[in-house]
């Protein structure tokens, strides 16, 4: 599994990793994860600024990865906290089905 940055502003960067690993080098990496603890902000000791507030945060990177290699499985992001406190930070990802 390889983790790529969660960046709705530059999903092409993540797609470049898939292209390099699976198309150019033929490594056949099947599992990709997008983002590492994007919910961890300065209050918890982190420096993250990307918020998982809408599915649009996820659609760009997800679609970019799958466009390069439709056979991969896209996982993540890895969350730091708020798994069960009302609306969780995972809700937008869980609601997204990869079609829009």
Region for residue 82 given its phi and psi (left: phi exceeds 0; alpha: psi -120 to 50; beta: otherwise): left
Tokens representing residue 27 in the block: 């490594």
3-class DSSP assignment, residue 75: strand
What's residue 76's pLDDT? 73
Query: In the structure, what pLDDT confidence band is assigned to residue 8 with cuts at 50, 70 and 90?
Result: low
Query: In the structure, what pLDDT confidence band is assigned to residue 100 with cuts at 50, 70 and 90?
Result: very low
Q: Measure the CA–CA gap between 79 and 41, rounded to whole angstroms.
A: 11
pLDDT digits (tens, 9 = 90+) for 12-36: 888 999 999 999 999 999 999 887 7
Measure the CA dihedral 58/3/38/6, to 10°: -40
Please give the backbone phi and psi of residue 78, each rounded to the nearest 5 degrees, phi first: -75, 125
pTM (2 decimals)?
0.70
Q: What is the CA radius of gyration of the chain?
A: 14
The structure tokens 């420096």 sit at 47
């Amino acid at each position: 599994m390889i983790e790529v940055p969660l960046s709705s502003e530059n999903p092409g960067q993540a797609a470049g990793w898939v292209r390099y690993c699976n198309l150019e080098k033929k490594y056949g990496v099947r599992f990709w994860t997008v983002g590492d603890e994007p919910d961890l902000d300065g209050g918890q000791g982190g420096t993250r600024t990307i918020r998982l507030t809408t599915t649009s945060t996820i659609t760009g990177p997800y679609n970019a990865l799958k466009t390069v290699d439709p056979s991969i499985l896209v996982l993540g992001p890895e969350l730091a906290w708020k798994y069960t406190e009302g609306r969780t930070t995972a809700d937008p990802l869980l609601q997204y089905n990869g079609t829009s």
